[in-house]
Structure 1
Amino acid sequence: MNQDYIVPNNWSIIEEGFEADRVKSSESLFSIGNGAMGQRANFEEQYSGATFQGSYIAGVYYPDKTKVGWWKNGYPEYFAKVLNAPNWIGIHVEINGESLDLAKCKAITNFRRELNMQEGWYQRSFEATLQNEVEIAVHVTRFLSLDLDELGAIKYEVTPINSDAKVVFKPYVDAGIENEDTNWEEKFWETLEIKNEENSAFVVARTLKTKFTVATFMQNQIIVNNEIADVKPVEVTKEPSKITFSYEVAATQGQTVSIQKFGGYTISTNHKEEYLISAAKQVLAQATTLGFNALLDNQKLAWAKIWEMSDITIEGDTKAQQGIRFNIFQLNQTYLGKDSRLNIGPKGFTGEKYGGSTYWDTEAYCIPFYMATKDQNVARSLLEYRYNQLDKAIENAERNLGFKNGAALYPMVTMNGEECHNEWEITFEEIHRNGAIAFAIYNYHRFTGDYSYIPEKGLEVLIGIARFWHQRATFSSSKNQFVILGVTGPNEYENNVNNNWYTNYIAKWCINYACAQIEKVKSEYAADYERIMSKVNLNDAELQSWKNTADNMYFPFSEEYGVFLQQDGFLDKELVKVSDLDPSQRPINQKWSWDRILRSPYIKQADTLQGFYFFEEDFTKEALERHFDFYEPFTVHESSLSPCVHSIQAAALGRMEQAYTFYLRTSRLDLDDYNKEVHEGLHITSMAGTWMSIVEGFGGMRVKNNQLHFEPRIPEQWKGYSFKVNFRNAIVKVAVNHTETKVEVEGNQDVEIIINGAAQLVKN
């Protein structure tokens, strides 16, 4: 059974009532971020119950030594992971000498959390009776500034209810933190300096090995009777990696006293190391000049601007509306496209699983969202991220696997271009990720119309990838075709298989696409062509060998079922459908042994159907229907990346009830905790698939022959829905209800759009 405690609301995530066993889940769900940093929704005050402390800084990582029992040649030496960063949010609170700790209070009432997605802030409030019988009301507001992205702000208010009270606020900065997922219980940070001035404190710490240096800072103000009080800390406590201030405030019964805390990080990737503290002081000076309320007002304006372009409205279905906005909100909290050095980790700033690294999710799922809701430069930055790491992709293929001549295998998991995943069947068999990176280049050009990236940078990536596929394929004498052996497809419930159809198909496509772009650049961008060819040393004989491999690629096919087989031998399995599984056995990845999973027909996520999604125009609708009907009944959707693809395809087949069910699953995957793992963090990259489920699924958006196409459909549960896309600098708004589709254009151009097969000139 899925969790069901989040209150349905169009614009907010709301929890009512305190339950200790859902604290970790809520820490994930109420996470906040601003693209540069983020944090789980940990309590500011002390909490002795089960909690998962987590603060994270974009781009700061650590190479945790790989821990495997049996080392194999080619294994990466470390697993790079996002670091749990120094904690600046902490404010211990004492009431008449007793610590406030929700795990120890006699009573907790009116507990409420709200994450306001429209305005970008998080609030928590409750009333508590402490062991010393003092009753207090607490109200906390917290946000991470979009305008000043090194800054966060907290207002922590305490009101004694049944007596006067001495309230002691103990704000602190602590660099002595650990990752929950460390392999060897290593410490990742060394503290270099602790400094304080009046109401400000700075802790400078450096990561071991990677040598990122970070100044974590705080500045505090005490508020009494709604005015800043001239209160200095009565005590400053310094420990080896931590500094704590103590402020004492006398509060009469019913009087609210509060602390405002500004905090955050300045990092050595943005500032010279010797200026980190002075940079922090500048941030604090800006913050105190503006003040908490003005900063919050600016936050609301910044989020309003984001929502103006990226919002999707749904009428008549609050849970569906809440789900899509939660997904869009978290995507924007994770990545805003301001810094081309950054990418999108599968957990964003909400947890440590998957190491916070870059996966193929970015190219396959996230780029469409950012292309359509930002400008094309944001998506181009994501492509350039891979171009900048091409040399390491070549090194990965040549040094680790023995390929040659500039063949490139992009890492399955990376922070800096080096492979840092330590499972062989994923690291060196799930090679289809190379195809997603090439497809993203094609998808970018198809959507934006900007071809310049390919001659400038993209063609070198395509050549490296084509060389890899050409060398990875093996000629089978018995089949008289080329095969690709020993791979793992998108369906990770199959390892080390031969001729995964999706992998073979995308390999063939990559080679053909690279060849076509080489010809285009040769004829239209002569200077770039000469520069690239002299660099990569590509000749006609090699090109012909590529084409021969692509033209003679083998694809397993079943005459009996009329479908491409997911891989050789798929029909040897006992084909028991998911609907015939005992529900108590789900999810199978938590109930079954890995051996049993590998021998089963169950599919973790869209595999063959992923190919039909990418290359829809290569197949008839009848072929899609046949493959969907064959594979979907065996799919357990235990990957967050699965339901969105199936939702889009069900919509294309006109199966709206099924499409709607899949949409709800992808949009509320975390809110309703379908996979029983939300306490580990959110599924950020799959959230872009939720956006695709509406825009490409229900909206039927496609780009064909340089034109935008829509085939709108609407679930019967909805009264209407609308969305915007930025298509080649024209803002196209689509609004759909059960009787009509309206399309409007903002910008300086009229746009011809194809709606249900008919051309329509939409004037601005």
Structure 2
Amino acid sequence: MNQDYIKPDNWSIIEEGFDVNRVKSSESLFSIGNGAMGQRANFEEEYSGSTFQGSYIAGVYYPDKTRVGWWKNGYPEYFAKVLNAPNWIGINIQVNGESLDLFTCKKIENFRRELNMKKGWLSRSFKAILKNDIKVEVKTKRFLSLDLDEIGAIKYEVTPINSDAEIVFQPYIDSGITNEDTNWDDKFWDTLNVSHKNNQAFIEAKTMKTDFYTCTFMESQVFINGKSVLIEPNIQADSNVSIFSYSHHVKQGETYAIHKFGGYTVDRNHDKSQLVSVAKRVLETATEKGFSQLLEDQKQAWETIWSMSDITIEGDVKAQQGIRFNIFQLNQTYLGKDSRLNIGPKGFTGEKYGGSTYWDTEAYCIPFYMATKDQKVARSLLEYRYNHLDKAIENAEKLGFSNGAALYPMVTMNGEECHNEWEITFEEIHRNGAIAFAVYNYYKYTGDYSYIPEKGLEVLIGIARFWQQRATFSADKNKYVILGVTGPNEYENNVNNNFYTNYIAKWCINYALENIQKIKVEYPADYKRIMDKVNLSTPELNDWKKVADNMYFPFSEKHNVYLQQDGFLDKELIKVTDLDNSQRPINQKWSWDRILRSPYIKQADTLQGFYFFEDEFTNEELERHFDFYEPFTVHESSLSPCVHSIQAAKLGRMEQAYTFYLRTSRLDLDDYNHEVHEGLHITSMAGTWMSIVEGFGGMRVKNNTLYFEPKIPEQWKEYSFKVNFRNQILKVNVSKNQTHFQLEGTDSLQISVNSKMLTITPDNLVTI
């Protein structure tokens, strides 16, 4: 049973009514971020019920020592933990000496929480009767500034309803925090200094082992009925906490409010000796602007983002809410301002999975960022991997590879592998293919080839070297095989000849060879520089070619399909529809042993290959493979429904495509996999965008031209999206009977619609 308490709304995520059993789920769903920091939607005031406290700073992590007993060779020494950072949002509330705590209140009425995605703020309102029978009305609003990305702002208002009351606001900052996700319960933070002056407080702290220096800061102002009140705070401080108390006698019906500004300065961006003085400047800017002006700036910043990235859907509020939620969370997580950062699978919404970078970025996120931002953003994601090439070569060396072979990590913060399950770390090597595919995809979409001679070719060479060394020649098959792998379907470990892995290995080698030849002819200076650096010889290139030309792909004559891996047909092939619902999700109900022996597929695997390389297969082949594999797919990975939605749309199966779309877009809102309390599935949200643009819109790039084959689900009246294609912005609007194209800019653009070529001129609506 999926959860169903989020109210359908075009622009907001809304929860009405307070339920202690929903607190952790809502903390995830209502999370906020600005690319530089983020936080779960924890209450500002004290909450003694079950909660998952989480504030996070981009790029700040802790190398938690690996928990592993028997396998040592090549094993990562640590698992990079996304660090729960010092808390700056806290404001404890005392009413006539009684704490406001929603877990202990006698009664809570009219509880409402809203995440306004259009304007980028989070609010709550409720009425509560405290244990001392005082009734108060509370309204809060909070946001993390996109413009000043080191600061956030909170407005917290309390109105006593049934009597006068002595109300105390206690804003605080606290570095004595712990991670939910920790291997050994290590202490992650070392507090260096707690200081305060006037209405400002600062905590300087550094991370253990990694030595990231941070300053957490706050400043507060209080108001009665909107008028500023000067109250000298009572200050308490200890080794980890600084608490300011602002006490005021508030008459019945009066509104007592606090505006709190807080955030982080970090030595990733400033000299560590200057963190407090920078924090003071940030606070000065914020308080000068004030809460209302900062909020206005926030609305404008989000308006700019939405003007390019919004997708509109008419006639289906849940579908509309779903896609906007996904686009909103992607932009909260990564805005492309800092090339050292990447898109973590939980973003700023939780700690599970650790690390900041998976193959999800290259396989799913780059298309979204290429089409909705300037192409520089996507290029910086590619450069992130180039900057980690030496580490990828080191990772491969630890596993016994040589000669500059590169194995990119499954999970990383700084290029080092830090994933802790051997069947993933050593065996889920298909991730290397996604890195190379992203280089190809970027060039195909943007037409910017310069990245490949400048940086990309070195990455492609390292990856090709890895695949050539990882393949084994089978005398029995007279082919090259790839043994002991885990494909995208993590419900099969240590299998031989995973089709997708073998296919992408062959493709990577051929793509590297093709680019070596092109650069040799067209960029001779780059060619010489690279060849001098990597020592590539003709015999080595011949060895690559031999592997690519003679790669083995398991195939079933009986079913006329490529096999997901050698032993797939040895399984008892019971379809998902014949599984008792009480057994789902199997990853929470079954032993790992039982899962591994089952035919059940976590996410697109063979079909992932058909998605990436669709031009290399016919529609009939896609249909055969889709019909064979989808019935065994349990879609228990967030990355699964989007690929299936795109392929179902390509096959004209719109009802199925729509069902998969709804699942991917509302995966977290409706908690399909019963795990949203741990955080959101950020990287798969880009797949939701692809489900509409590539799935229903049928958008592809072929021969430097945008192709569209628009379709529309029965449930929708119309939908629209924009893409930035080579610095030309094209708006596409699809309704039941026609598709409109509108071009911004000065140059005309040739596109193909349903296999017919069209020329679109700027500001001239073209209807098909």
TM-score relative to the length of structure 2: 0.99
For residues 145 and 11 of structure 1, the distance between their equivalents in structure 2, rounded to whole angstroms, comes to 19
Q: CA deviation at 1:71?
A: 3.0
Match for residue 461 of structure 2?
463
Q: CA deviation at 1:356?
A: 4.0
Q: CA deviation at 1:63?
A: 0.2
Match for residue 620 of structure 2?
622
Residue 291 of structure 1 aligns to a residue whose secondary structure is: helix
Match for residue 264 of structure 2?
265
Q: CA deviation at 1:737?
A: 0.3
For residues 548 and 64 of structure 1, the distance between their equivalents in structure 2, rounded to whole angstroms, comes to 42
Match for residue 42 of structure 2?
42
Residue 517 of structure 1 aligns to a residue whose secondary structure is: helix
The code of the aligned residue for 1:309 comes to M
Q: CA deviation at 1:357?
A: 2.1
Do structure 1's residue 4 and structure 2's residue 4 form an aligned pair? yes
For residues 413 and 319 of structure 1, the distance between their equivalents in structure 2, rounded to whole angstroms, comes to 33
Q: CA deviation at 1:84?
A: 0.1
For residues 355 and 178 of structure 2, the distance between their equivalents in structure 1, rounded to whole angstroms, comes to 15
Match for residue 279 of structure 1?
278
Do structure 1's residue 253 and structure 2's residue 252 form an aligned pair? yes
Q: Give the 5 Å matches for 1:545-584.
A: 545-584=543-582
Deviates further, 340-349 or 67-76: 67-76
For residues 624 and 468 of structure 1, the distance between their equivalents in structure 2, rounded to whole angstroms, comes to 29
Residue 626 of structure 1 aligns to a residue whose secondary structure is: helix
Match for residue 310 of structure 1?
309
Match for residue 136 of structure 2?
136
For residues 20 and 642 of structure 1, the distance between their equivalents in structure 2, rounded to whole angstroms, comes to 31
The alignment-based identity, stated in percent, is 76
For residues 674 and 379 of structure 2, the distance between their equivalents in structure 1, rounded to whole angstroms, comes to 35
For residues 461 and 185 of structure 1, the distance between their equivalents in structure 2, rounded to whole angstroms, comes to 37
Do structure 1's residue 229 and structure 2's residue 196 form an aligned pair? no
Aligned residue among 414, 435, 441 for 1:416:
414
Match for residue 145 of structure 2?
145
Residue 262 of structure 1 aligns to a residue whose secondary structure is: strand
1:64–1:182 CA contact under 8 A, matched in 2 = yes
1:696–1:702 CA contact under 8 A, matched in 2 = yes
Match for residue 349 of structure 2?
350
Deviates further, 237-246 or 39-48: 237-246
Q: Give the 5 Å matches for 1:448-527.
A: 448-527=446-525
Match for residue 187 of structure 1?
187
1:169–1:247 CA contact under 8 A, matched in 2 = yes
Match for residue 647 of structure 2?
649
For residues 379 and 250 of structure 1, the distance between their equivalents in structure 2, rounded to whole angstroms, comes to 55
Query: Structure 2: where are the runs of 5+ without partners?
Result: 763-768
1:27–1:41 CA contact under 8 A, matched in 2 = yes
1:168–1:246 CA contact under 8 A, matched in 2 = yes
Q: Deviations over 1:106-146 (max 9, x none)?
A: 00000000000000000001000001000000000000000
Query: Structure 1: where are the runs of 5+ without partners?
Result: none
Q: 1:323 to 1:688 in 2, by over 3 A?
A: same
Spell out structure 1 runs of 4+ moving beyond 4 A.
Answer: none
Q: CA deviation at 1:72?
A: 2.6
Match for residue 288 of structure 2?
289
Q: Deviations over 1:310-352 (max 9, x none)?
A: 0000000000000000000000000000000000000000000
Q: Deviations over 1:140-183 (max 9, x none)?
A: 00000000000000000000000000100011000010001111
Match for residue 238 of structure 2?
239
Residue 491 of structure 2 aligns to a residue whose secondary structure is: coil
Do structure 1's residue 590 and structure 2's residue 560 form an aligned pair? no
Q: Deviations over 1:191-249 (max 9, x none)?
A: 0011101100000000000000000000000011212111120x211111111011101
1:348–1:356 CA contact under 8 A, matched in 2 = no
1:107–1:128 CA contact under 8 A, matched in 2 = yes
Q: Give the 5 Å matches for 1:68-79.
A: 68-79=68-79
Q: Deviations over 1:693-716 (max 9, x none)?
A: 000000000000000000000000
1:714–1:737 CA contact under 8 A, matched in 2 = yes
Match for residue 381 of structure 2?
382
Superposed CA RMSD: 0.5
Q: Deviations over 1:599-656 (max 9, x none)?
A: 0000000000000000000000000000000000000000000000000000000000
Q: CA deviation at 1:747?
A: 1.1
For residues 131 and 694 of structure 2, the distance between their equivalents in structure 1, rounded to whole angstroms, comes to 56
Q: Deviations over 1:498-527 (max 9, x none)?
A: 000000000000000000000000000000
Q: CA deviation at 1:69?
A: 3.1
The code of the aligned residue for 2:686 comes to A
For residues 565 and 379 of structure 2, the distance between their equivalents in structure 1, rounded to whole angstroms, comes to 34
For residues 359 and 561 of structure 1, the distance between their equivalents in structure 2, rounded to whole angstroms, comes to 34
The code of the aligned residue for 2:199 comes to N
2:355–2:411 CA contact under 8 A, matched in 1 = no
Match for residue 741 of structure 2?
743
For residues 282 and 115 of structure 1, the distance between their equivalents in structure 2, rounded to whole angstroms, comes to 29
For residues 7 and 489 of structure 1, the distance between their equivalents in structure 2, rounded to whole angstroms, comes to 38
Match for residue 373 of structure 1?
372
The code of the aligned residue for 1:370 comes to Y
Residue 353 of structure 1 aligns to a residue whose secondary structure is: coil
For residues 2 and 160 of structure 2, the distance between their equivalents in structure 1, rounded to whole angstroms, comes to 38
1:81–1:357 CA contact under 8 A, matched in 2 = no
2:57–2:83 CA contact under 8 A, matched in 1 = yes
Match for residue 683 of structure 1?
681
Do structure 1's residue 759 and structure 2's residue 757 form an aligned pair? yes
The code of the aligned residue for 1:721 comes to Y
Match for residue 30 of structure 1?
30
The code of the aligned residue for 2:601 comes to I
2:175–2:240 CA contact under 8 A, matched in 1 = yes
Residue 353 of structure 2 aligns to a residue whose secondary structure is: helix
For residues 650 and 72 of structure 1, the distance between their equivalents in structure 2, rounded to whole angstroms, comes to 44
Match for residue 765 of structure 2?
none
Deviates further, 384-393 or 220-229: 220-229
Match for residue 360 of structure 2?
361
For residues 206 and 216 of structure 2, the distance between their equivalents in structure 1, rounded to whole angstroms, comes to 11
The code of the aligned residue for 1:683 comes to H
2:33–2:144 CA contact under 8 A, matched in 1 = yes
For residues 357 and 478 of structure 1, the distance between their equivalents in structure 2, rounded to whole angstroms, comes to 42
For residues 249 and 757 of structure 1, the distance between their equivalents in structure 2, rounded to whole angstroms, comes to 71
For residues 61 and 269 of structure 1, the distance between their equivalents in structure 2, rounded to whole angstroms, comes to 12
For residues 306 and 502 of structure 2, the distance between their equivalents in structure 1, rounded to whole angstroms, comes to 40
For residues 540 and 69 of structure 2, the distance between their equivalents in structure 1, rounded to whole angstroms, comes to 41
For residues 247 and 256 of structure 1, the distance between their equivalents in structure 2, rounded to whole angstroms, comes to 14
Q: Deviations over 1:251-286 (max 9, x none)?
A: 100100011000000000101011000000010010
For residues 187 and 152 of structure 2, the distance between their equivalents in structure 1, rounded to whole angstroms, comes to 25
For residues 460 and 750 of structure 1, the distance between their equivalents in structure 2, rounded to whole angstroms, comes to 36
Match for residue 605 of structure 1?
603
Q: Deviations over 1:574-606 (max 9, x none)?
A: 000000000000000000000000000000000
Q: Deviations over 1:374-415 (max 9, x none)?
A: 0100000000000000000001101x1111100000000000
For residues 335 and 97 of structure 2, the distance between their equivalents in structure 1, rounded to whole angstroms, comes to 44
The code of the aligned residue for 2:597 comes to R
For residues 228 and 82 of structure 1, the distance between their equivalents in structure 2, rounded to whole angstroms, comes to 39
For residues 309 and 70 of structure 1, the distance between their equivalents in structure 2, rounded to whole angstroms, comes to 51
The code of the aligned residue for 1:18 comes to F
